[in-house]
Structure 1
């Protein structure tokens, strides 16, 4: 195991790989990353699946069977992707068991086209939970306004949820509220709260990408001084909110009945600007009870030259607020930025889903 990943894990950060493919599973590469790089979970999205389907012949046999059976396109996508998720869950089962369910998790996303439809999102979360049929799966639900009651409903049904596409502190507070409400309903429903887990995926690099673009247009010394600081500042204030909510009386009541905290998950941790340290969204976001889901390039960079100096995300809250005060003085308001990023994020997920459908259709047609 690498020293950097070992040090990160020792600080209470769970390393999840933001990638999955049939080839990775067939070759045993996921198992190798568990052993060598302390990977204890996996996340997926439509873009990741589309990339996987384009590479090699690992999906050919299942694709042929789907054609023979006359399976329709959208169902074929679900069967192809859930097969990988189920397999990855089995690979990670020892981690799931040794961590008492905290890690060893694999996430699969609801259809992003229904991100603004509560009932459909809830129904699909239940369907995916049933389809994968593994206790260590997590169902990804976007943190849209319509997604919030779906998070509550899924949690109340005993489903473990990965809440995705969180950009703002305000929305994050509502996500935590949705989770707590779901746990309270689950308790009323007789669900064993200790079996329910959740993470809240807070996107990091996209905040810097959008804000840096605006700062570059200004081009002043004051603007240059805050480049690359907003994403980490935003995440640190999210951790502050997490710490406060999961220390309150409402949480203590649930914890007494076996409930688990909804851990912050740092997503979008690949560094987009080549001028920045390529491990900054890892080394500067170290705190207990967190998850960092990394693209393989970021994981490799961490293994190669990342340096963990201790806890860095559960401090500097006043400095983080000062970053947003400086941005506001420059005419850049974080609330407007995060609202835009959520809108764009949902659309990007929808576009990725459409591309995935087209890719699977092409593979199915090629077999006919």
Structure 2
């Protein structure tokens, strides 16, 4: 057991792995990470599945059978990915049974549906039914069209990982969508204690976009703000989370058995090699959160990461000051978040196309 990762977990941060493959499942690697690396959850996306399917032969038999049965590419993707998530849920089931909120495995609705509310709801229902495990989470993007889909899914008793959140403003709308879904579920007589949710707040991409703009400005004041925005943004998000927890609306739902929708720090792999490779873990240590990490970041923290106590609570004023200075040097913060969301949806769609192409190639070989 890594002492550094154990210390992170003891600080209230749930460590989730941002990766999944059939090889990890069948070789026992995922189970080992749970045992030795304090991993208590898994997140996936189409890029992760494309890499897993392209690199491994463990999918070949299932692909051959599906092709022989006349399945099209969408059906093949659906069957391959839901099987992996179902099996990962089985491995994480003991964690889910022994903890309140962990042991979860996420699978994403088709990214091409990000701007289609009804189709997103249908996709979420289909994935939830196919995985058929209580510790699954269905990933729904926090686009404007995704918000009502989040409410609708929660209202049906479906556990949701809300993804692609960049701004605190949108995060507040996500929390509102979650509470609205819980209220509807309660009215339907659904047991609220069975519903789980996390809100995936993207971190490193905020620094990548803002640093690029700071470089263009080129002033000493701008240079001094490099690498400061992403953590500050997450700190403000956590303050918004605490605000909602203190509200009468949440208190009533919690009294009825509802679970908190924890903030999940996503995109925590450092993109800029000039920054410490554990930056978005160490600087975001705070209780009641999840940090989903690529294995490279997980191992970096296991090797040399430091837990320096709660780095988030009570820091909202400092974080706001960072954004005030960003605005003062000429950064259009609202535009930054708009660009990041559009790029995020585009990247998700590109990942889906990559997955489609990968699976089509496998299907051709299976004929």
CA distance in 2, matches of 1:257, 1:356: 41
Deviations 1:3-50 (A, max 9, x none): 111111111110000000011111111011101110000000000000
Residue correspondence of structure 1 range 221-236 to structure 2 within 5 A: 221-236=220-235
Aligned to 2:166: 167
CA distance in 2, matches of 1:316, 1:254: 27
- Which segment drifts farther, 187-196 or 4-13? 4-13
The DSSP-based 3-state class of the residue aligned with 1:202 is strand
CA distance in 2, matches of 1:56, 1:153: 36
Aligned to 1:304: 303
CA distance in 2, matches of 1:274, 1:314: 27
Aligned to 2:36: 36
Aligned to 1:10: 10
CA distance in 1, matches of 2:280, 2:311: 11
Aligned to 2:67: 67
Aligned to 1:87: 87
CA distance in 1, matches of 2:59, 2:132: 21
Aligned to 2:25: 25
Aligned-residue offset at 1:120: 0.7
Aligned to 2:285: 286
The DSSP-based 3-state class of the residue aligned with 2:57 is coil
The DSSP-based 3-state class of the residue aligned with 2:200 is strand
The DSSP-based 3-state class of the residue aligned with 2:343 is helix
The DSSP-based 3-state class of the residue aligned with 2:201 is strand
The DSSP-based 3-state class of the residue aligned with 1:92 is helix
- Which segment drifts farther, 213-222 or 89-98? 213-222
The DSSP-based 3-state class of the residue aligned with 2:286 is coil
The DSSP-based 3-state class of the residue aligned with 2:272 is coil
CA distance in 1, matches of 2:258, 2:318: 33
- Which segment drifts farther, 308-317 or 84-93? 308-317
CA distance in 1, matches of 2:67, 2:166: 40
The DSSP-based 3-state class of the residue aligned with 2:182 is helix
CA distance in 1, matches of 2:151, 2:189: 15
Deviations 1:74-113 (A, max 9, x none): 011000011100010000000000014x100000000010
Aligned-residue offset at 1:224: 1.2
Deviations 1:234-265 (A, max 9, x none): 00000000000011100010011100010000
Deviations 1:133-165 (A, max 9, x none): 000000000000000000000000000000000
Aligned-residue offset at 1:333: 2.0
- Which segment drifts farther, 214-223 or 266-275? 214-223
Deviations 1:37-67 (A, max 9, x none): 1000000000000010111211111111111
- Which segment drifts farther, 2-11 or 89-98? 2-11
Aligned-residue offset at 1:308: 0.3
CA distance in 2, matches of 1:311, 1:3: 18
Unaligned ranges ≥5, structure 2: none
Aligned to 1:121: 120
The DSSP-based 3-state class of the residue aligned with 2:161 is strand
- Which segment drifts farther, 87-96 or 64-73? 64-73
Aligned-residue offset at 1:223: 1.1
Aligned to 1:333: 332
2:215 aligned with 1:211:
no
Q: TM-score scaled to structure 1, two decimals?
A: 0.99
CA distance in 1, matches of 2:150, 2:255: 22
Q: TM-score scaled to structure 2, two decimals?
A: 0.99
CA distance in 1, matches of 2:332, 2:302: 36
Deviations 1:332-356 (A, max 9, x none): 0221101110011001100110110
The DSSP-based 3-state class of the residue aligned with 2:20 is coil
Aligned to 1:192: 191
